[in-house]
Amino acid sequence: MAKILIVDDEDKIRNVVREYADFEGYEVEEARDGMEAVDICKTKDFDIIIMDIMMPRLDGFSASKEIRKKKQIPIIMLSARGEEYDKLFGFEIGIDDYVVKPFSPKELMARVRAVLKRNSQQAQGDVLKFEGLEINIAGREVIVDGEKVTMTPKEYDLLFYLVKNKNLALTREKLLEEVWGFDFYGDDRTVDTHIKMLRNSLGEYRKFIVTLRGMGYKFEAN
List domains and CATH numbers for the chain.
3-120 (3.40.50.2300), 127-219 (1.10.10.10)
Kindly report the pTM of this predicted structure. Answer: 0.61
- Asked if residues 179 and 157 have their Cβ atoms less than 8 Å apart, the reply is yes
Q: How far apart are the C-alpha atoms of 137 and 159, rounded to whole Å? A: 9
- Asked if residues 53 and 86 have their Cβ atoms less than 8 Å apart, the reply is yes
pLDDT the model gives residue 82 = 66
Q: How far apart are the C-alpha atoms of 193 and 139, rounded to whole Å? A: 25
Strand partners, 79: 100
pLDDT the model gives residue 123 = 45
pLDDT the model gives residue 124 = 47
Q: How far apart are the C-alpha atoms of 62 and 134, rounded to whole Å? A: 31
Q: What is the pLDDT along the chain (222 residues), one digit of tens a residue?
A: 899 999 999 999 999 999 999 999 999 999 999 999 999 999 999 999 999 999 988 999 999 999 988 887 899 999 877 666 777 777 777 788 889 888 999 999 999 998 888 776 544 456 889 999 999 887 788 999 999 999 988 899 899 999 989 999 999 988 988 887 655 555 678 899 999 999 999 999 999 999 999 899 999 998
Strand partners, 100: 79
Q: Which residues contact 89 (CB under 8 A, 6 or more apart)?
A: 61
pLDDT the model gives residue 183 = 52
State the CB neighbour count (10 A cutoff) for residue 83.
Answer: 11
